[in-house]
Structure 1
């Protein structure tokens, strides 16, 4: 099997080093996802830039994490589920929401559940939504802007989830307490 490097500040290509240094300042460590993406500085820059843009969306931290974690679960990304569980906890997302996202169960808040269902439909149907699905999220109190921002969050997770799949990124110590195993991995055991 082909292995991918987990770069350090010393081994990373020059174009990736400033991004890794910013991550070190922000998190106190360089996440293995970033260290792996450093192999191709353009994907690292794309991912971090898109992440900053997604943070500007007209969505709460909870709503952004619903979009991100739903995509992580659907894509079976164990690294990102653990990382975003930790980020959700740090960001004040309610435990009942985090548990629902990790276990693929309904979120008790009907508006947030409508957002989760929209994200599921968007991911599973590769962007093809029915009028019924669109009307359901609008009726829950979201807007057309929200629908487009779900696409943005889904694109962000495609970059990280696919990278983690092919690189088999090692989980950082900071996220180990929130390890998650995809149902597909469990079935294979």
Structure 2
């Protein structure tokens, strides 16, 4: 599918300011977002949900656990590579990153409870059990966390589906973490 790779100077009018903001925030426009600019409402929704998830009670590493778990389950190579780079920059331990890429249990039991809850939410399409929530709470998380995981799942649903549809080329910045 040949989706146009838009730039902050060449994009639908409603997406220009969004791409300028992405450029300013990241230093470049990731190909996924450049292609998402084809539908400014989709890009705007993705960015807004990402900002909201970033303001959750979860730490940067915990947010990456949620997103990388979903990326792996959705088999999204583009998103997995991008988030591996970001997770490393945000201080995720190498052994946690490696386990997430491989779909293995995490060496940190609290983070692993978050990974398991995220996986169960995804696999059950939101029909998780009382036992799933209890396991998350037992690990020291809260009901708020459970709802924030849903926010992260929604965010990744947008980017994973968009990446599958558009098939953006992997940016040079993410090549070292190709998956």
Report the TM-score when normalising by structure 2: 0.98
Tell me by how many angstroms 1:3 deviates: 2.0
Tell me if 1:19 matches 2:18: yes
Q: Which digits, 9 at most, give the CA deviation of each residue in 1:102-126, with x for residues without a partner?
A: 0111111111100000000000100
Question: Runs ≥4 in structure 1, deviation > 6 angstroms?
Answer: none
Residue 87 (structure 2) aligns with:
88
| Aligned residue pairs, count | 179
Q: Secondary structure at the match of 1:151?
A: helix
Q: Secondary structure at the match of 1:15?
A: helix
Q: Secondary structure at the match of 1:16?
A: helix
Q: Which digits, 9 at most, give the CA deviation of each residue in 1:128-157, with x for residues without a partner?
A: 011111111111111100000000000000
- Decide which moves more: 40-49 or 10-19: 10-19
Tell me by how many angstroms 1:10 deviates: 3.2
Tell me by how many angstroms 1:96 deviates: 1.0
Residue 51 (structure 2) aligns with:
52
Q: Secondary structure at the match of 1:39?
A: coil
Take 1:131 and 1:49, find their aligned partners in 2: how far apart are those partners?
A: 30
Report the TM-score when normalising by structure 1: 0.93
Residue 119 (structure 2) aligns with:
120
CA RMSD of aligned residues (A): 0.8
Q: Which digits, 9 at most, give the CA deviation of each residue in 1:1-27, with x for residues without a partner?
A: x42111123331011011111111121
Tell me if 1:141 matches 2:140: yes
